[in-house]
Amino acid sequence: MKQRTKKGSGRRTPKQRRARLTVEAILDAVVRILKREGVGAVTTNRIAEVAGVSVGSVYQYFPNKGAIFLSLHRRHVENVDRVIQATLVEHSSSPLEGLVRALVEAMVEAHRSDMELHDLLSTEVPHRGGGTRDFALRLQGAFRLAVASRQQELRKNRDLDMVAFTGAQMFEALCHGVTRRPAGLGLTAAKEEVVKAVLSYLRA
């Protein structure tokens, strides 16, 4: 079976399992280089060496480093997105407080699982914000559905679109803040404060 080529990109889109594994190996190699040597050490030759593939294989899927960094950001965002979506499904029948608490726990732990990579992606690795914006829109949509199904726990006549927008923004920003909290502030207490803040807004 021939590999498909993304229209206009001149690069193959990984459809077969072997191709997807190659792309994952390339991205994993970039992560190892970033952690050990810094962003300045990320070159196609170094990526190929660490990934155990040819330079041609790297260029087969990525036209330049920018495309690699973009894919790395996209993979991170998609991983967090899957965690959030799974939590929403698991707690679909939970009351508002139970859902918010579960979402805060899931979001914080998704970032704490590899804080070094999260910090590198946030501060060192250049990228365009499309994937992040898409995630923000999906999160806002998820909040909209969650709030709409729990309107009995809110004050009457709330603008659900505004509530979803503001609530999702608060949730994401505060959860990120927990992962960068000052020394001396406990993790459990910090997460509890985020739950209180989000619930206070949603019920205001």
Residues 54, 154, single domain; the answer is: no
User: Of the candidates 150, 170, 167, 156, which has an alpha carbon nearest to the alpha carbon of residue 95?
Assistant: 150
pLDDT at 9: 46
What is this structure's pTM?
A: 0.76
**Together in a domain, 172 and 88:** yes
Q: What is the pLDDT of residue 127?
A: 59
Where among 39, 63, 87 does a domain terminate? 63
pLDDT single digits (tens) 77-87: 888 889 998 99
Residues 88 and 58 in one domain: no
Q: How far is CA 67 from CA 152, 173, 176, in A?
A: 46, 27, 25
Residues 157 and 179 both lie in one domain = yes
Whether 122 and 192 map to the same domain: the answer is yes
> What's the CATH number where 101 sits?
1.10.357.10
Query: Which of residues 25, 43, 63 is at a domain's end?
Result: 63
Task: Give exposure, 63-77, as e/b (b: 16+ Cβ within 10 Å).
Answer: eebeebbbbbbbbbb
User: Can you tell me the distance from the alpha carbon of 198 to that of 191, in angstroms, rounded to the nearest whole number?
Assistant: 11
Q: In CATH, what number is assigned to the domain containing residue 10?
A: 1.10.10.60
- Number of domains the chain is built from: 2
Same domain, residue pair 105 and 195: yes
The residue range of the domain holding 8 is 4-63
3-state secondary structure of 21: helix
128 and 146 fall within a common domain: yes
106 and 58 assigned to the same domain: no
Q: CA dist 20 to 10, 25, 50, 55, 107, Å?
A: 17, 9, 17, 16, 26
Final residue belonging to a domain, choices 42, 63, 84 = 63
- Clarify whether residues 97 and 56 are in a common domain: no
pLDDT computed for residue 134 by the predictor: 76
Q: Are residues 147 and 56 in the same domain?
A: no
How do the pLDDT tens digits run along the chain, 204 residues long? 444 444 444 455 556 888 889 999 999 999 999 889 888 888 999 999 999 999 999 999 999 888 888 888 888 888 888 999 899 999 988 999 999 999 999 999 888 877 777 777 776 666 555 556 777 888 898 889 888 888 888 888 889 999 999 999 999 999 988 988 888 899 999 999 999 999 999 988
107 and 26 fall within a common domain: no
Long-range contact list for 47-53, CB < 8 A, 24+ apart? 51/25, 51/26, 52/25, 53/22, 53/25, 53/26
pLDDT for the residue 7: 45
Q: Do residue 114 and residue 187 come from a single domain?
A: yes
pLDDT for 3: 46
